[in-house]
Chains A and B, each alone.
Chain A
Amino acid sequence: MRTTARRALVSVGFAAGLPALLVAAWALATQGTTSLYFPSPARVAQAFTRTWLAPETITGDVLPSLARFGIGVLLSIVIGVVAGTAIGATPWLRALLEPMLEFFRAIPPVVLVPVLMLLLGIDDTMKLAVIVSGSVWPVLLNTIEGVRAMDPVLTDTSRSYRVRGALAYRYFVLPAASPQIMAGIRLCLSIGLILMVISEMFASSSGLGYQIVYFQRQYMVAEMWSGILLLGLVGVVVAAVFQLVERRVLHWYHGSREVARG
C-alpha cells in the first residue's frame, strides 16, 4: 500500500518537478526587474486572465479561431481519407497523381496564404481554405500509402470471402489503413494549428493570431506572452485529445505490436 502511494508521489514529482523549477527560475530571474521583454510569471498570469478569460475575447477571438481550426481540420480529414482511399485503391489513378501530389506536398503550406488571399480575398472562406490547403496533404498521402500497403494476404482473404463494397470499406480498408491515417491526422492537426495562426496574422482583425501580433506591435509584452502561452495550451490539449482518440482507435494496433515484440 505504502509503496504504491510512494510510487505515485514520485511520478508526480517527476512530472511536475522540472516545470515547477523552470517557473521558479523564471520568477526569480524577473524579480524586481521591469524588463520589457521578459515579464514575471505573475504578470503574464495576470495578463492571461485579463486578456483571454474576458467574455468578448472568448467569443470574439478565441472561439472563432478554434472553430475555424476545427472545421478546417475536419474538412481536411474527410477529404484526405475519402480521396486517399479512392486513389490508393486505384493503381492507375495513383500513378497518374503521385508526382503532382508529391509536388503539392512539398510546397510549404504557408506560401499558399498569399495565393489564396489573391484568389479568395480576405474572409473566413479564405482562412478555411488556407487551413485545408495545407493540412489535407498529410492525411491524403498517408491514406494513399496506407491503402497501398495493405497486406496482400488480407486483401485476398477479403476477396475470397466476398467482403465487398461499403462493408469492405468499413471493416477492412479503413482499419487496415488506420495506423497511417492516424499518423497523417496527427501531422494535419499541427499544420492546421499553425495555419490558423498564420492566416490570422496576415489578414484579419480578430482571432488568436491577430491578437498576438497586435500585442507585439503595441509592445504589450505580458499580453503577448500570455497569447503564446494560450497557443501552447491549445497545442498541448489538441495533442492530448488526439493521443486519447488514437489509443482508442488503434488499440488493436498497439496491442498486436506489443505482442509481436514479445
Chain B
Amino acid sequence: MAENTPLLSVRELSKTYPGANGPVEAIGSISFDVHPGELVCIVGPSGCGKTTLLKCLAGLLPPTSGSVMLDGAEVSAPPKKMALVFQEYGRSLYPWLTVRDNVALPLKARGVPRAERLAAVERAVEEVGLAHALDTYPWQLSGGMQQRVAIARAVAYQPEVLVMDEPFAAVDAQTRADLEDLVRRVWKDLGVTVLFVTHDIDESVYLGGRVLVLSSSPTVVQEDLAIDLPAERDQLTTRALPRFTELRTHVYGQIQRAKRGEAVPAVR
C-alpha cells in the first residue's frame, strides 16, 4: 500500500436524527483521512457528536449521507479490521465472563483455533500488564484495570484500526496517565492505526500525532492540526515543553470558538 493512500477515509459524513421537534442535525458534514500507522486524536466540545461520528465509523450506525471507507471498502456493518474500546469500561465487558474469556470471545467468533486463541489472549493480557488477573471477573478489578482488559481485547483482535471512544474519561488522573502511556506503547509496538476520541485537550495533544478539532453541533472538522512534538513522549517532560503548552493553548482556543459557534473552515 502506498504511503499516501488513506486507510480510513471519511467523506462528507452527516447524521440527522428524527427528533420530537423535527430532525436534529448531529453531524453537519465531516471529511478527513487517516493514514496507516497514524495516531489521530479527535477532540471537540461536549455534545458535539463525537460518539455519533464514532458509531458511524464503526458501522454501528448508518450515516444519513456521506461515506466511510476502510481500506478501500465502504463501511456499512462493523468491519473485521476495526476494534473498539468504549468509554463505559464497566458496561463493555461481559460481567459473566472472566478476563480470559472476555478477551477470547471475539477471537472465537472469528474462528481462531483454540490453541492460537489462548496464546493470543495471554499475549494481549500480558501487554496491558494484567497477566495475574486472567481468571478474575472484570467487576473484581478496578476501573483502570477494567479498561486495560478492554484494551487487551482490542489488541488481541489484531485490528488495523483501533478506535477508542473517550476511554479514560471515567478513570482517575493517576490511572489515566498510565493508560495514556499504554496506548502510546501499544500503538508503537503493534504498528496499529489509532483513532482516539476525547474531550480532554491535554490528552489529545499529548497522545496524538494529529489532532482533529470538531466544532459544536452540527459538527464539522474545525481544524486538522499536526502535533509536532517529539515521538518519544513522557508525562513529565513532554507536558513541560513550551511547544506542548502552545499547542494545547491553540486547541483550547479553537474549542472555545467552537463553543461560541464561530465555526471556521479548517486550515492547514
Q: Which of A's residues lie within 8 Å of B, judged by CB? A: 151, 153-154, 156-157, 159-164, 167-168, 171-172, 175-176, 178, 252-253, 255-256, 259-260
Contact = CB atoms under 8 A, between A and B. Distances in A.
A178 B95 CA distance: 12
B88 interface: yes
Contacts of B94: 154, 171-172, 175
A164 B82 CA distance: 16
A6 B149 CA distance: 45
B28 interface: no
B106 interface: yes
Given A161-B83, A162-B80, A156 B96 contact: no
B268 interface: no
B5 interface: no
Contacts of A255: 137, 139-140
Contacts of B108: 167
B131 interface: no
B55 interface: yes
B106 A159 contact: no
Contacts of A176: 96
B105 A156 contact: no
B95 A157 contact: no
Contacts of A154: 91-92, 94
Contacts of A151: 91
A175 B94 CA distance: 9
B209 interface: no
A171 B137 contact: no
A252 B95 contact: yes
Size band of the interface chain B makes with A: 20 to 34
B109 A175 contact: no
Contact of A161 (B91, B106, B140): B106
A218 to B, nearest CB: 53
Contacts of A161: 78, 83-84, 105-106, 109, 153, 157
Contact of A159 (B78, B80, B95): B78
A219 B86 CA distance: 69
Contacts of B229: none
Contacts of B260: none
Contact of B137 (A160, A163, A167, A256): A256
A253 B95 contact: yes
Given A157-B86, A161-B109, A175-B96, A259 B140 contact: yes
15 contacts: A153-B86, A153-B92, A157-B93, A159-B60, A160-B59, A160-B82, A161-B109, A161-B153, A162-B78, A162-B109, A168-B109, A171-B101, A171-B105, A178-B96, A259-B140
Interface in B71-110: 78, 80, 82-84, 86, 88, 91-97, 101, 105-106, 108-110
A258 to B, nearest CB: 9
Contacts of B91: 151, 153-154
Contacts of A178: 96
Interface string B169-201: 000000000000000000000000000000000
A118 to B, nearest CB: 45
A259 B60 contact: no
Nearest to A172: B94
B157 to A, nearest CB: 7
B78 to A, nearest CB: 5
B225 interface: no
B58 A160 contact: yes
A250 to B, nearest CB: 9
A120 B93 CA distance: 49
A142 B78 CA distance: 30
A160 B88 contact: no
A163 B106 contact: yes
A64 to B, nearest CB: 37
A162 B86 contact: no
Nearest to A178: B96
Q: Which of A151, A153, A172, A260 has the most CB of B within 10 A?
A: A153
Given A161-B83, A171-B97, 19 more contacts: A153-B88, A156-B55, A156-B86, A157-B92, A159-B78, A160-B58, A160-B59, A160-B84, A161-B78, A162-B106, A162-B109, A163-B109, A171-B94, A172-B94, A176-B96, A178-B96, A252-B95, A256-B137, A256-B139
A151 B157 CA distance: 22
B60 A156 contact: yes
Nearest to A151: B91
Of all A-B residue pairs in the complex, the 7 with the closest CB atoms, nearest first, are A161-B106, A256-B139, A153-B91, A175-B96, A252-B96, A163-B109, A160-B84
